[in-house]
Structure 1
């Protein structure tokens, strides 16, 4: 028996094929962009600095209203800061383009942090109301942290349009995540610790994150010669003003959606669930942004942008239908679906801004897009509030974001975006 077994040919056991790593292949575009040296470090630092963007206004409102007992004063102070940001933002971005991210963004951030700390002290020690306006206006020098990260990606991936598309998609999802978590963290700090806790934490995160971000000099875009950078203002570039108008209409969607959703939840006795409804919209947008980044862009950017805006306009019809014909549960589903349309439009639009802005003006061009968004948010908030009070039911207020989306589509179709 032993001789028989020894005489048998030795064959290797059958090798089973390794399981296909579909998940790793699916995430390959993101793994590829983060394989570049230094990208993970500057992304982590930038996310730390970007999180306060969703905390500052909410923290200021809770802090001022809690100490002064006036939401009107809190709203006026934050509105002043928004207007100041719209004016100072492009100026700050121009300095960053001219002198570099580390040299210009850090002092601008330090000034903004001093403004937040001044606001905190003025509220805590009962300073006159005018000091609140002056202090919060000083925070307008806060750099466009998302734009700083996008500028680094644009420099590192300047020869790879598909990778830039993936990076822009990731940055859009990061924006949504920060504006989703920021208000929650601010509310938690201000209500469980003390009213000034949210502002103090936001200022600390902003300064720490920006210092860490600026320290990553290996991925910082080089400064373009001043004669080239000053050649032409981004506002005079062909195709950019219509893009900014479309960004403004998109901002009106965000601003009106927030106000209308708060009013709808209050009217249905679920005021505490208003934040969850808005979070579903942001979560849908973040998920869509990440999935959109996995796709390889095809065709002209203008045509893709119009298609994304058209999809956004179509899906924005769902919330008014759900609010009037359904209930809160149907509205939650509709808001999630509607949110999934905004990220692809924003990603494609920001890609067009990058492609049509000179390298020496890139931060300024992207900050102008953010400024247009902020202006649209302010207009949308005012219009949404008027609609809630004037129309017969809060559900009809969702016609405002739907109309803003339709206006965005009309703007993108009429002009060469």
Structure 2
């Protein structure tokens, strides 16, 4: 049986832009936690570290879709290059401001400007789509990207904190900035695989977020993102209460492990079931598997429950991005994918806050109620949106139509 992953990487230029894209997206995970690690050690004030990190994360959540919208209209190299330059310079200023103890306002301004960092996951998926649009290989490519995203979140955050602790406070952020500069440069120099600019048929200035499929998928993944953050916050709180705080790393690690394996398997399959139904099944599994988390009162039970809860994460991502590829005009593809990525980030931010409040108020075990409620809300969103998500594929300009959902 042929290896479907080997097949997608036989496409001309695929190995190059995928490798560069992986390096360039490491700052997505490294920067927010790297800012916290850097400032908490250098300034000794956790509120300041958290506030500066939140400034970067929330600003990027708003700005990234706008940059992706410009990328759709002007091209990746035209827009992403200057945006990355601004981001890299701002990160360097942030590092210098921390090291040299510049005024606090310089930290916030530099973090705000650093948020010009483009959405690499969206740009990489746009290149895969340009190569495999309307072909079964797009499912494998999106599966690979979902697994790569998980690796980034697992490895990136650990690397950033590890460098800051082992070397010096700014080490994690220096590495993150270097990865952004080198990875993005290598990615943008590969012009042969850059997607062509497609003229929008929906009128000038129209945003992808006005597309109903994008709204539905983004809202659903806001709730899914809240589940991710709740698992991390609750795992830390519960293992600490059980007197085994070091076990939190294991618990969080197995959450991604199950999803990693299932994602690879799903990407190797050519399922015929409509994507909106696949998404409904995946989100149903996520919603149902949040319930056992409420009863995991030992580390062993927590590890098992979290592992099972994470099994459907990659399938959810794969089908969600597949639906965006099929339902959104190609003139809005990069922006559409970026909105979905932004939804995950927003969900994680609110989920962490909500879970933290519940843990402080009602105890560690009750933090998982945020997961249960979020899972139910995600499922309701997807079920109510089945008709819209199962509609005809959007019209494509200059390329074959994607296969219909049904």
Give the structure-2-normalised TM-score.
0.92
Q: How much has 1:355 moved relative to structure 2? A: 1.0
Find the counterpart in structure 1 of residue 348 from structure 2: 377
Find the counterpart in structure 1 of residue 319 from structure 2: 348
Q: How much has 1:347 moved relative to structure 2? A: 0.9
Q: Distance in 1 between matches of 2:26 and 2:258?
A: 19
Unaligned 5+ segments in structure 1 are: 1-24
Q: Distance in 2 between matches of 1:293 and 1:230?
A: 36
Find the counterpart in structure 1 of residue 378 from structure 2: 408
Find the counterpart in structure 1 of residue 396 from structure 2: none
- Asked if 1:236 corresponds to 2:207, the answer is no
- Asked if 1:110 corresponds to 2:80, the answer is no
Q: How much has 1:226 moved relative to structure 2? A: 6.0
Instruction: Tell whether the 8 Å contact from 2:359 to 2:366 is kept in structure 1 after alignment.
Output: yes
Q: Secondary structure at the match of 2:212?
A: coil
Q: Distance in 1 between matches of 2:112 and 2:165?
A: 25
Find the counterpart in structure 2 of residue 365 from structure 1: 336
Structure 1 residues 116-195: aligned runs within 5 Å: 116-160=91-135, 162-195=136-169
Find the counterpart in structure 1 of residue 289 from structure 2: 315
Unaligned 5+ segments in structure 2 are: 390-406
Structure 1 residues 79-90: aligned runs within 5 Å: 79-90=54-65
Q: How much has 1:56 moved relative to structure 2? A: 0.9
Q: Distance in 2 between matches of 1:362 and 1:266?
A: 43
Q: Distance in 2 between matches of 1:187 and 1:245?
A: 31
Find the counterpart in structure 1 of residue 14 from structure 2: 39
Aligned counterpart in structure 2 of residue 246 of structure 1, from 216, 220, 229: 220
Structure exhibiting the larger radius of gyration computed from Cα positions: 1
Instruction: Tell whether the 8 Å contact from 1:229 to 1:360 is kept in structure 2 after alignment.
Output: no
Instruction: Tell whether the 8 Å contact from 1:229 to 1:358 is kept in structure 2 after alignment.
Output: no
Q: Distance in 1 between matches of 2:91 and 2:260?
A: 29
Between stretches 145-154 and 331-340, larger displacement belongs to: 331-340
Q: How much has 1:38 moved relative to structure 2? A: 0.7
Find the counterpart in structure 2 of residue 329 from structure 1: 300
Q: How much has 1:50 moved relative to structure 2? A: 1.3
Find the counterpart in structure 2 of residue 99 from structure 1: 74
Q: Distance in 1 between matches of 2:157 and 2:58?
A: 20
Find the counterpart in structure 2 of residue 271 from structure 1: 245
Aligned counterpart in structure 2 of residue 301 of structure 1, from 275, 290, 298: 275
Instruction: Tell whether the 8 Å contact from 1:315 to 1:341 is kept in structure 2 after alignment.
Output: no
Instruction: Tell whether the 8 Å contact from 1:229 to 1:361 is kept in structure 2 after alignment.
Output: no
Instruction: Tell whether the 8 Å contact from 1:49 to 1:210 is kept in structure 2 after alignment.
Output: yes
Instruction: Tell whether the 8 Å contact from 1:180 to 1:283 is kept in structure 2 after alignment.
Output: no
Q: How much has 1:229 moved relative to structure 2? A: 7.3
How many corresponding residue pairs?
387
Q: Distance in 2 between matches of 1:106 and 1:334?
A: 43
CA deviation digits over 1:321-376, x for unaligned, max 9? Answer: 22x3xx11221122122111111011101111111111111111111111111211
Aligned counterpart in structure 2 of residue 48 of structure 1, from 18, 23, 37: 23
Instruction: Tell whether the 8 Å contact from 1:304 to 1:348 is kept in structure 2 after alignment.
Output: yes
Q: Distance in 1 between matches of 2:301 and 2:158?
A: 24
Q: How much has 1:266 moved relative to structure 2? A: 2.2
Instruction: Tell whether the 8 Å contact from 2:214 to 2:340 is kept in structure 1 after alignment.
Output: no
CA deviation digits over 1:222-265, x for unaligned, max 9? Answer: 01136667374222223331221101111111122222222122
Instruction: Tell whether the 8 Å contact from 1:165 to 1:297 is kept in structure 2 after alignment.
Output: no
Aligned counterpart in structure 1 of residue 185 of structure 2, from 204, 211, 220: 211
Find the counterpart in structure 2 of residue 389 from structure 1: 360
Q: Distance in 2 between matches of 1:226 and 1:245?
A: 24
RMSD: 1.5
Find the counterpart in structure 1 of residue 195 from structure 2: 221
CA deviation digits over 1:372-409, x for unaligned, max 9? Answer: 11211111111101110111x31221121122111100
Give the structure-1-normalised TM-score.
0.89
Q: Secondary structure at the match of 1:340?
A: coil
CA deviation digits over 1:180-218, x for unaligned, max 9? Answer: 001111122111110100000100011100100111111
Instruction: Tell whether the 8 Å contact from 1:122 to 1:132 is kept in structure 2 after alignment.
Output: yes
